[in-house]
Amino acid sequence: MITAIVQYRLPPSIDLDSCAQHFRNIAAGFRNVPGLIRKQFIYAEDGWAGGVYLWRSQADAEAFYTGPWLLGIRERYGMDPQIKYFHTACVTDNSVEAVLLPDAAE
């Protein structure tokens, strides 16, 4: 599993409420992204926003972070996102009382 932290700077006109509404409008569109396990939509008071994604593989993540998704970020926010990848050994998910373990070592 791979965790990707994606960040981009918002224009000053986008506050928490408008950012949260945009995220709520697009959230369902992530339900069928190949290889995506989970996404958390994030916003910081200093004007940065983005997502914390849990992927089955880095190849799945890299395939998603190109094409239409990247073009949309560039168009909306005028910058390329900052993306950092982390190998994820396991995830404790208390909402479903489970520990997620990666499949075979990558």
Topology annotation, domain 2-100 = Alpha-Beta Plaits (3.30.70)
Domain boundaries, the chain: 2-100
Residue 93 DSSP one-character state: E
Strand order in the sheet with 48-55: 36-43, 48-55, 2-9, 82-87
Q: Which structure tokens are listed for 16?
A: 């928490």
What does the pLDDT read at residue 104?
43
pLDDT tens per residue, the chain (106 residues)?
999 999 999 999 999 999 999 999 999 999 999 999 999 999 999 999 999 999 999 999 999 999 899 999 999 999 999 999 999 999 999 999 989 888 744 4
3-to-70, 77, 84 alpha-carbon distances in Å: 18, 23, 8
Q: Please state the pTM of the whole predicted model.
A: 0.90
